[in-house]
Amino acid sequence: MLDPDDLRYFQTIARYGNLTVAARTLGLGQPALTSAVQRLESALSTTLLLRTNTGVVPTASGLFPLMFGR
């Protein structure tokens, strides 16, 4: 089952496109956010974010939790 907090964290990461900014916004550390994304990716058996030099962007699979996570 998907954790609602993990979905909220993922949505914040995707909104800002940056783990540092999302962590600051949520009042969490980057490791906690990384773990949340890893749990979601494991539960859904897919990659949700592409890591780039400038941040992160959702994959096509990553758009699903953004649209239906609430």
- Provide the pLDDT for residue 23: 97
In this prediction, residues 26-51 reach a mean pLDDT of: 94
- CATH number assigned to the domain covering 4-68: 1.10.10.10
Torsion angles phi and psi, residue 45, rounded to 5: 55, 45
Q: What's the token pair of residue 5?
A: 């907090």
Q: Percentage of the chain surpassing pLDDT 90?
A: 80
- 8 pLDDT higher than 60: yes
Evaluate whether 33 touches 19 at the Cβ level (below 8 Å): yes
- 70 pLDDT higher than 70: no
Q: Percentage of the chain surpassing pLDDT 70?
A: 91
- 48 pLDDT higher than 80: yes
